[in-house]
Structure 1
Amino acid sequence: MKTAILAAAFIVATGALASPGAHGPNGEHLEAKAVAASNALARLPDGSVSVPMLAQRRLAVRTLLAQETNASASVELPGRVVMDPNAGGRIQTLSGGKVQPGPGGLPVAGQKVRKGEVLAFVSFNASPIETANQRSQLAQIRSNRQLAEQRVQRLESLEGTVPRKDIDAARAELQSLAAQERAVGASLGSREALVSPINGVIASASVVAGQVVESKDILFEVVDPARVLVEATTADASLGTKVAQASLAGLPGVKLQFLGAARSLREGALPLTFRASSSSALPLAIGQPVTVVASINQQVKGIVLPAQAVTRSPSNEPVVWVKAGAERYVPQPVQVQPVDAQTIVVTKGLGANNRVVVQGASLIAQIR
């Protein structure tokens, strides 16, 4: 009788440690040799983790019963944030010269500006010989203009005795010389105003007062922070016809609208253009590298889970944590594909009807 009681107690204790629900994709049991449970967080010799019930509540561990289904296939593409040509602009000078502050001083990166606002001036710097030639030309034009004025006055005093056409010709010559004088005089010490092409924010500013710049130098970049584009690249030239929707990895609040694919390769890759939008301020900056998760018009069979359910093993292999007992979790290597920025699909390594950790998996993986 005593022997039967001890055998029954041993069976109950063993069953509490090993749950028959944890199995692999082919029905094999995931749990290894049963190990005595501990009252503390611990990594067991077989690689599994012991997490007492109280600790599970503190870590907010949540599990989900895995079910196999169909999901849209996705691909991850490298990309970067670029300027929208219709909502941004670069400010350059037409002729080189010396930078002078605008009415409100030189703008700095991040400062808001209005369309048509003068950001700075560039004063044209001519060589001494060019300046001397301009002054000489101005003096000659001024002298001719004075002579033309005297001739007009003389002819007007003789009006009625000289032909009317001579008076009109003299007046026209005077007007021409006066216009030349104003044009040449304005070129001496002239300066070019640099104005903002749009309402936006200064994305970059690379000038200081007194800096000498050339015509090809980019002095300011102005962008509308609410309107930016994301440019992704792919080696698959046919991918542009398969993209259904897209999102940014790690930025669930940003939505991407597919605008189209280029029809020519650039450095062996096909550019894909997306428009970024968000219900709040876009957390993106021009030139920022991003990962685009593009859903394509194909279906893949697997188990759909939140992206946070997947962690990395010490060998950098993707794993999910399967609940093998009331306080025991087993790491299971898997193969995954992204569905969107928040969801993945497990294609290999995980069987249906397993209790998979979908919240707190990263905390369980840190237990040593």
Structure 2
Amino acid sequence: MKRVTMAAQATLFALFALLAAGPALAHGDEDHGDAPAAVNSNGPQRQPDGTVFLPKSAQRLMGLRTLPVQQAALPKATELQGVVVMDPNAGGPVQATQAGRLVAPPQGFPALGQRVQRGQVLAYVEPVAGALERSAQAAQVAELQAAQALAEKRLARLQVLADTVPRREIEAAESELQSLRARGAALRQGLGGREALVAPVSGVVAASQALAGQVVDARDPVFEVVDPQRLRIEALAYDLGVAQDVGDAFLVNASGAPQALRFLGASTRLREQALPMQFGGVQGLALGQPVRVVLQTRSTVTGHAVPAQALMKNAANQTIVWVKQAPERFVPKVVLTQPLDGARVAVTQGLSDGDRVVVQGATLLNQVR
């Protein structure tokens, strides 16, 4: 009995081992293992060598456009960081020359962005002599005006009686009236001795610190007036030789074509180990706005001009462009670039004459996996 049991166990063990070693079959030898996923060989896909297969239909949907490039002598350029500043001849602060309290003109304080004319009164500064002193001066002016009115009436009466009144009394009345008038004029001048803050140039109000009744000290800025059509850009150049070899300059905009700038001059004194340079011809920007300036020199470099939007990054964070190698095949090429004019860059290494570079839709092409 014991031998039968052991024989049965051995048989079962061998059967289980055979089943485990063989393929899982059922329902007429059907294989239920994991089948490989179906691959659409006709759709956009990244090839093992890094190239991209892109059918014509997908190219039209992505709006792909290519441009053949040719090597040429291009201006050597550098990119500078700058900030928008005002033209000293077309803007400036409005400051008080004495301490006092701000008083609005009849039309009120100007609002931000409001256009003002040169010489227009923007505010008044009443001297901080004290309200009590000014009230006393106003009372004295009122008393003098009353005394002056009485003196005028007395003089008129004496002039009517000139035939019976001694001449010296008429002269004394005239002298008294003149004295009263002089004292009244002096008091009125002291009473109205507030300072008028006027616009230094015609432009718009760029900054305002004015509040009714606000007390300001001498030299405190109250307003800032600037002509928005006459702004400048101040950029810092860390290469001191750039200032001696300036060609064209362009403002790099976040959107749209680059804006041409006019080089005005460079300083001869370093600031933070850099040379300040100023450019004109700026419009549509705000004071203090940071900007990028591409400065071309008269020196040249050999390369291929490519739109900046054609530059992409690969997985290794290298700068690449996509080149059309075949009607439906695109190859990434690692390139070295230099700034050119804000809208284009100069590719100094990585391209050959006749390469068709993808200049539109490169972002979608770069995302194909």
**Match of residue 61 from structure 2:** 58
**Match of residue 288 from structure 1:** 289
5+ residue gaps in structure 2? Answer: 1-38, 156-164
Instruction: State the TM-score, normalized to the length of structure 2.
Output: 0.73
Q: What is the CA-CA distance between 1:51 and the residue it aligns to?
A: 2.6
Using the TM superposition, name which of 73-82 and 109-118 deviates more.
109-118
Please show how residues 260-339 of structure 1 align to structure 2 within 5 Å: 260-277=265-282, 282-339=283-340
Q: What is the CA-CA distance between 1:76 and the residue it aligns to?
A: 0.4
**Match of residue 247 from structure 2:** 244
Q: What is the CA-CA distance between 1:178 and the residue it aligns to?
A: 5.7
Q: Which amino acid aligns with 2:293?
A: V
> Per-residue CA shift, 1:282-325, capped at 9, x if unaligned?
22111111111010010101111122221233454322111233
Instruction: State the TM-score, normalized to the length of structure 1.
Output: 0.73
**Match of residue 26 from structure 2:** none
How many Å separate the matches in 2 of 1:180 and 1:266? 57
**1:75 is the counterpart of 2:74:** no
Tell me the secondary structure at the aligned position of residue 109 of structure 2.
coil
How many Å separate the matches in 1 of 2:350 and 2:51? 17
Tell me the secondary structure at the aligned position of residue 57 of structure 2.
helix
Q: What is the CA-CA distance between 1:241 and the residue it aligns to?
A: 1.4
Q: Which amino acid aligns with 1:353?
A: G
Q: Which amino acid aligns with 1:352?
A: D
Q: What is the CA-CA distance between 1:357 and the residue it aligns to?
A: 0.8
**Match of residue 355 from structure 1:** 356
CA contact (8 A) 2:312 2:366 kept: yes
Q: What is the CA-CA distance between 1:159 and the residue it aligns to?
A: 7.6
**Match of residue 196 from structure 2:** 193
In structure 1, which of residues 202, 211, 222 is the aligned counterpart of residue 225 of structure 2?
A: 222
Superposition RMSD in Å: 3.5
5+ residue gaps in structure 1? Answer: 1-35, 161-166
**Match of residue 257 from structure 1:** 262
Q: 1:211 to 1:128 in 2, by over 3 A?
A: closer
**Match of residue 109 from structure 1:** 112
**1:205 is the counterpart of 2:211:** no
What is the percent sequence identity of the aligned residues? 43
In structure 2, which of residues 232, 235, 243 is the aligned counterpart of residue 232 of structure 1?
A: 235
> Per-residue CA shift, 1:82-129, capped at 9, x if unaligned?
101111121111112222223322222222222222222222222479
How many Å separate the matches in 1 of 2:344 and 2:179? 75
Task: Determine which structure has more spread, i.e. the larger CA radius of gyration.
Answer: 2
Q: May I ask how many residue pairs the two structures share in their alignment?
A: 314
Q: What is the CA-CA distance between 1:59 and the residue it aligns to?
A: 2.3
How many Å separate the matches in 2 of 1:298 and 1:176? 80
How many Å separate the matches in 2 of 1:130 and 1:266? 50
